[in-house]
């Protein structure tokens, strides 16, 4: 059953930026009470069972505790803000409002308020990404992934190419022409739309996040650990030690300083183990090669120390001959 309501949702604040072709689903718009559900923006109430999730979902993790809180609110007050959907042959596809949709299903609501809008697959995905990026509880990984996906769609290049382009433009953004200049304008427009971060800062501080090991990325995505702690743990190169430290950091809620201290201890232990397994003669040969490039010969204090060490070494070699 479809029941028309007077409230609406979905004005386009990006009309001055036609290249984006996206809008903020949180902006109010006058409803079209008598319009066809498949045309324009129409605020309606539809059956939850007729709404399906999209195949491509920018949001992959939902905090269980926060979902319980939202479900309790929906149970008491209902859905206060309409979901955004687009029409299908036999129902509707959800575009924005997945948390509300899940909460409605959880508490057993039969009908929910929606705004119906005709849109292409690409428009639908872009709107879902923008809505996701405007969340207050967005963690750094979700935000980074969302922005890269949005840039990929707007620039019409692969996500790996987006990262390469951002790195390159960050080094030469003051002197770009031609296609690079056009792409830079698109990048700036996307970041102006999303808000909250400069594109250069994103290139410097957020792109490296995507190179973190998968277990650390999963913990970040689920909000189990902060970005600064994740980067510190990633400095441990031994995979087993890294995963053990990650589990310990999460279970014991270690501070960043505690994690850094443990990382230093692990590195020192690894260095000692490497030394003990490295033949003494090889170490001597390595030290000799390093001495050829060293500046120790220009430092009088270091030369005195070296003289004492050499005297001890010479005596050892003499005794053994």
pLDDT at 11: 35
* Domain boundaries defined on the chain: 3-126, 140-210, 212-277, 280-319
Q: pLDDT by residue (tens digit) across 7-29?
A: 322 333 333 333 444 333 333 33
Q: What is the DSSP string of 171-214?
A: HHTTS--HHHHHHHHHHHHHHHHH-SS-HHHIIIIIGGGGGS-H
Structure pTM?
Answer: 0.59
pLDDT single digits (tens) 167-186: 888 887 667 778 888 899 99
Provide the pLDDT for residue 272.
Answer: 63
Give the separation between CA 150 and CA 142, rounded to whole angstroms: 12
Sheet containing 91-96: which strands, arranged edge to edge? 3-4, 42-47, 111-116, 83-88, 91-96, 51-52
The residue that leads in pLDDT, 269 or 159, is 159
pLDDT given for residue 275 in this prediction: 58
How much is the pLDDT for 171? 82
Average pLDDT rounded to a whole number, residues 46-62: 81
Q: Which CATH number fits domain 3-126: 3.40.50.2300, 3.90.1530.30, 3.20.20.60, 2.60.40.60?
A: 3.90.1530.30
| pLDDT tier, 4 (very low <50, low <70, confident <90, very high otherwise) | very low
- In which band, very low, low, confident or very high, does the pLDDT at 34 lie, cut at 50, 70 and 90? very low
* Tokens (6 digits) for 283: 């170490």
Per-residue pLDDT tens for 203-241?
Answer: 988 888 888 899 999 898 888 888 889 999 999 988 889
Residue 194 pLDDT class (50, 70, 90 cuts): confident
The stretch 152-157 carries a mean pLDDT of: 90
CB 266 within 8 A of CB 241: yes
Specify the pairing of strand 83-88 against strand 111-116: parallel
């Amino acid at each position: 059953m479809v029941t028309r309501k007077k409230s609406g949702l979905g004005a386009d604040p990006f009309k001055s930026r036609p290249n984006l072709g996206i809008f903020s689903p949180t902006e109010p718009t006058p409803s079209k009470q008598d319009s066809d559900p498949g045309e324009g923006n129409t605020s309606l109430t539809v059956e939850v069972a007729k709404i399906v999730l999209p195949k491509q979902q920018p949001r992959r993790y939902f905090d269980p505790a926060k979902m319980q809180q939202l479900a309790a609110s929906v149970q008491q007050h209902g859905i206060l803000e309409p979901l955004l959907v687009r029409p299908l042959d036999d129902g509707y596809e959800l575009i924005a409002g997945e948390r509300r949709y899940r909460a409605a299903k959880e508490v057993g609501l039969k009908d929910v308020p929606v705004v119906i809008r005709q849109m292409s697959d690409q428009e639908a995905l872009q709107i879902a990404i923008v809505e996701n990026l405007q969340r207050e509880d967005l963690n750094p990984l979700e935000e980074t992934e969302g922005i890269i996906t949005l840039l990929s769609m707007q620039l019409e290049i692969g996500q790996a190419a987006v990262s390469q382009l951002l790195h390159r433009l960050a080094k030469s953004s003051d002197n770009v022409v031609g296609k690079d200049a056009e792409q830079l304008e698109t990048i700036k427009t996307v970041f102006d739309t999303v808000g909250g971060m400069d594109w250069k800062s994103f290139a410097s501080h957020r792109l490296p996040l995507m190179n973190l090991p998968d277990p650390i990325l999963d913990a970040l995505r689920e909000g189990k650990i902060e970005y600064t702690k994740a980067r510190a743990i990633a400095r441990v190169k031994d995979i087993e030690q890294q995963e053990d430290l990650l589990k310990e950091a999460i279970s014991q809620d270690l501070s960043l300083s505690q994690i850094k201290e443990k990382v230093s201890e692990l590195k020192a232990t690894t260095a000692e183990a490497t030394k003990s397994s490295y033949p003494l003669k090889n170490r001597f040969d390595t030290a000799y090669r390093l001495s050829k490039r060293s500046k120790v010969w220009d430092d009088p204090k270091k030369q005195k120390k070296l003289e004492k060490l050499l005297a001890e070494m010479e005596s050892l070699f003499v005794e053994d001959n």
